[in-house]
Amino acid sequence: MNDIRKPMSEEYAQYLRDESQKTGTASLIAFPKTTEETAALLALCNQERLPVTVQGARTGIAAGCVPAGGLILNLSRMNRVLGCRRLESGSFAFRVQAGVILSEFAGAVESKRFSISGWDEDSVDACRMLMKGGDFFFSPDPTERSATLGGMAACNASGARSYKYGSVRPYIVALRAVLADGRPLSLRRGACFAQGRRLNVSLDDGGCIEATLPSYRMPDTKNTSGYYASPDMDAIDLLIGSDGTLAVITELEVTLLPQPGCIWGMLAFLPGREEALDYVLRLRAMDEGALASIEYFDAGALEILRRQRTGNAVFASLPEFSESAGAAVYTELHCEEAKEALALLGRAGEALEAAGGREEETLVARTRSDLLALQFFRHAIPESVNLLIAQRKKECAVITKLSTDMAVPDRHLAHMMEYYHDALDREGLQSAVWGHIGDNHLHINILPRNAAEYDKGRALYTLWAKEVCRLSGAVSAEHAVGKLKVDYLEIMYGKAHIDEMRALKKAFDPLCLLGRGNIFAGRGAM
Amino acid sequence: MRMTVCVKQVLSTGEVRMDPVTNTMIREGRQSVINPFDLHALEAAILLKERLGGEITALSMGIPTVEALLRDAIARGADRAVLLSDRAFAGADTLATSRTLAAGMGLIGGFDLILCGKMAVDGDTAQIGPELAEALDIPHVADVCEILTANEYSIQVRQAAGYGFCTLEVALPALITVTREANRPRMPSLAGIRRSRTAPLRLADSGELALEPCRMGLNGSPTRVVKTFVPVRERVCRPVEGSPSRQAAALLDMVKEVGI
């Protein structure tokens, strides 16, 4: 096979960084189109002892795909949907290459239009059945919809709707991957389990990987901090969320869910944080499974949106809201029928009024265009903060985005919210807080105005990580550890467990060539 | 100010899918919504009501399920609604529809201003507003992109007119059709949805309208649809490969081939 690696040049400069704005180094780059090409590239790099960093769409914000020397293995050209199969449940599973973009896949599922060239007859038949039957959807919905499905698998991505549907993990039923030495493996959910903490994974060439799983107990929260590990676990779950450090995921099979008959959104504005928390706790208490997401926005986030709405034409279509609003909560209702959604809306309204909100100031989206408007409101906040940080970086180069991704168990949500805000007030830092409050998972965004504030912000991040770990929480709930949260992972699990993870990595990647700098400091197993 | 906003039910989709056999729209699985232009008309009425006070009635001709859309209009800010629904209205073209709506206005009582969307996104005729005004013998301004001033006697509007704008003042009662540029329609509030469930909605059939049967529905429609078809667009993709100079030469041949 031809060596499809190209030397790095100015043309490829963008591939040295991701959305975290961290920049790395690399000497070569390659854009394989198949698992076989990927395997050949990895075998070559293994012979040359060349480190390899896997990339998808580079939308991550933990610097997981920022290269640490060697080869950039960019999978964005592995963007084909390979086939389809009907499941016994009546739903469908799609086999995709790792570089398929989420928004394109979700759009194809919605419109039931796929490029079927190269599909086998069974897949074409299954696709026909999909076209004739009801509507389905792919539930994982990270804010960044230009992410690749492979990237989502690598960091076990989730998103707003994870409150009801969880992360991408349970929707991945099979995957193909390639080890650092070029040997491929295929895993199917339910086919290969650990025996206690001992794991044997068969390779396609008849070989086998023997490994010992780390002995830590994972937090009882949304979590993508380090390797997924539990006794008797399914082997497929180890590769999901492994941050490109164990093997290169090249193909996945993902399942769809039946589309709810009725999807409504509700954006409530409240006087402040305490009222919003009260409302959220009431919502959670009344929920019987129809609430798909519960999202929070604090006064700082709303203030940024107010400014954007009037000062930036792109955001002019944002819905108007009262000057007195000090917090907002977005909820998405997924019901079978409008009657059911209406009853739920009524109960949510009662919860809102009891918590100090007003039904008059609560927006409800019952049509697709209204729902898109509310989702735009949700997505406009991170977008605006990125713009703000980029602007401040021009004035002070050391400034980068300081955004937390930590989750705590239910009982500690109120304490953690106070803890975050007390620290921000004490240090006098500007901030915007939003995120998945339903899962006790808020993104605290510190917005430093100068280098001194940036340092203060970093110190707070560490302080919060310690507190979250003390409360049995996770230092990364959905963005993965990447290169930016390595220190926090050690706070969470301690050195002994990190060493267990190193040993596990070494079983898969003895030379520590894959995803250098992710999860582990330095060269991983050194 | 007493205002009536005409609303039409359309399918919620940017992508109209046609049945290749029957040449009709595939409605299955698509949500029915208020015609997006009509939401701008409703918002214009709500803004006027906020300035001048008054009452807004939403009016529609359609099948019984349109009641849900009229209740949506109430949730967004209308006070009450009238639904004209009868099998006798079926098959109406724009002329019969506007006559029926004009007769429906008789059930509402007096009015100062009727607001319609510029057009419906399914039919694209933009005829209902002007025809309704003619049927009621009142002045109208189409394509209103801004309401400048209004009082109990007249309304001054800006009309999008080709390459520019006209500022027009029209005596009330009158009818205007509203464009997308006029405003940003608000979303319903939770309180509005609660109100809409019990707000007055009158359901009227053909017997309640002062309109002869031969002037409504298919019988009252001079328009005859002779044939509908889905236009076939044939696209051929020819990959151009080779060195840049070969590709340029191949492109030049293609340009010559199609006679550009």
Task: Return mean pLDDT, chain A.
Answer: 94
Which pLDDT score, from 0 to 100, does residue A117 have? 87
Chain A residue with minimum CA distance to B72? A366
Least confident of A45-54, A493-502, B249-258: B249-258
B49 within a domain of the structure (yes/no): yes
In chain A, residues under CATH classification 3.30.70.2190 are: 260-380
A348 neighbourhood in chain B, CB within 8 Å: 190
Task: Return mean pLDDT, chain B.
Answer: 91
Cross-chain residue pair A370–B187, CB shorter than 8 Å: yes
Please name which of A226, A278, A224, A159 lies closest in space to residue A406, comparing C-alpha atoms: A224
Cross-chain residue pair A364–B190, CB shorter than 8 Å: yes
Which pLDDT score, from 0 to 100, does residue A524 have? 46
Selecting from B29, B186, B191 the residue whose C-beta is nearest the C-beta of A360 gives B191
pLDDT tens by residue, A421-431: 999 999 999 99
Q: Please provide the distance, in angstroms rounded to a whole number, between the alpha carbons at the two ends of chain B.
A: 58
pLDDT tens by residue, B137-158: 999 999 999 999 999 999 999 9
Query: Mean pLDDT across the stretch A157-164?
Result: 93
In chain A, residues under CATH classification 3.30.465.10 are: 81-258
* Structure ipTM: 0.85
pLDDT tens by residue, A115-130: 988 999 999 999 999 9
Indicate the pLDDT class of residue A526, thresholds 50, 70 and 90.
Answer: very low
Which pLDDT score, from 0 to 100, does residue B141 have? 97
Least confident of A378-387, A415-424, B36-45: A378-387
Q: Is the pLDDT of residue A393 over 50?
A: yes
B184 touches chain A (CB under 8 A): yes
Q: How many structural domains compose chain B?
A: 1
Q: Is the pLDDT of residue A500 over 70?
A: yes
Handedness of CA A196, A201, A206, A207 (dihedral sign): negative
Selecting from B68, B184, B197 the residue whose C-beta is nearest the C-beta of A317 gives B184
Cross-chain residue pair B188–A366, CB shorter than 8 Å: yes
Angular region, A447: left φ>0, alpha ψ -120 to 50, beta rest:
beta
B54 within a domain of the structure (yes/no): yes
Cα distance between residue A320 and residue A309, in whole Å? 8
Asked if residues A454 and A396 have their Cβ atoms less than 8 Å apart, the reply is yes
Cα distance between residue A320 and residue A446, in whole Å? 25
Cα distance between residue A166 and residue A138, in whole Å? 12
In chain A, residues under CATH classification 3.30.43.10 are: 6-74
Asked if residues A15 and A57 have their Cβ atoms less than 8 Å apart, the reply is no
Asked if residues B59 and B104 have their Cβ atoms less than 8 Å apart, the reply is yes
Indicate the pLDDT class of residue B26, thresholds 50, 70 and 90.
Answer: low
What is the CA A197 to chain-centroid distance, rounded?
27
Domain A260-380 in this protein, CATH class = alpha beta
pLDDT tens by residue, A19-43: 887 899 999 999 999 999 999 999 9
Asked if residues B35 and B42 have their Cβ atoms less than 8 Å apart, the reply is no
Which pLDDT score, from 0 to 100, does residue B27 have? 63
Cross-chain residue pair A360–B189, CB shorter than 8 Å: yes
DSSP B200-229: -EEEE-GGGSS--GGGSTGGG---------
Chain A interface, Cβ < 8 Å to B: 111, 134-135, 266, 268, 317, 319-320, 338, 342, 345-346, 348-349, 352, 358-370, 373-374
Cα distance between residue B131 and residue B206, in whole Å? 20
Identify the domain containing residue B36 by its residue range: 2-220
B97 min Cα distance to partner chain A (Å): 26
B36 touches chain A (CB under 8 A): yes
Which pLDDT score, from 0 to 100, does residue B20 have? 64
Q: Is the pLDDT of residue A525 over 60?
A: no
pLDDT above 70 covers what percent of chain A? 99
Least confident of A222-231, B7-16, B76-85: B7-16
Chain B residue with minimum CA distance to A348? B190
pLDDT tens by residue, A273-321: 999 999 999 999 999 999 999 999 999 999 999 988 888 888 888 888 8
B191 min Cα distance to partner chain A (Å): 5
Q: CATH code for A81-258?
A: 3.30.465.10
Residues 37-96 of chain B whose Cβ lies under 8 A from any Cβ of chain A: 68, 72, 75
Which pLDDT score, from 0 to 100, does residue B16 have? 62
Which pLDDT score, from 0 to 100, does residue B122 have? 85
Cross-chain residue pair B190–A349, CB shorter than 8 Å: yes
B184 neighbourhood in chain A, CB within 8 Å: 317
Angular region, A248: left φ>0, alpha ψ -120 to 50, beta rest:
beta
Asked if residues A358 and A326 have their Cβ atoms less than 8 Å apart, the reply is no
Cross-chain residue pair B29–A135, CB shorter than 8 Å: yes
Chain B residue with minimum CA distance to A367? B33
B154 touches chain A (CB under 8 A): no
Strands A406-407 and A441-446, by their bridges, are antiparallel
Contacts of A486 (CB under 8 A, 6+ apart): A517, A518, A519, A520, A521
Q: pTM here?
A: 0.90
B188 within a domain of the structure (yes/no): yes
B208 within a domain of the structure (yes/no): yes
What interhelical angle do A368-395 and A299-311 show, nearest 10?
A: 90
Cross-chain residue pair B190–A352, CB shorter than 8 Å: yes
pLDDT tens by residue, B55-104: 999 999 999 999 999 999 999 999 999 999 999 999 999 999 999 999 99
Size of interface A-B (CB pairs under 8 A): 60
Which pLDDT score, from 0 to 100, does residue B109 have? 84
Which pLDDT score, from 0 to 100, does residue B21 have? 67
Which pLDDT score, from 0 to 100, does residue A73 have? 98
- The domain that contains B169 carries what CATH number? 3.40.50.620
Which pLDDT score, from 0 to 100, does residue A209 have? 97
pLDDT tens by residue, A247-267: 999 999 999 999 999 999 999
pLDDT tens by residue, A434-458: 999 999 999 999 999 999 999 999 9
pLDDT above 90 covers what percent of chain A? 85
B103 within a domain of the structure (yes/no): yes
Which pLDDT score, from 0 to 100, does residue A19 have? 86
Q: Is the pLDDT of residue A51 over 90?
A: yes
Architecture of the domain delimited by A6-74: 2-Layer Sandwich (3.30)
B33 touches chain A (CB under 8 A): yes
B113 within a domain of the structure (yes/no): yes
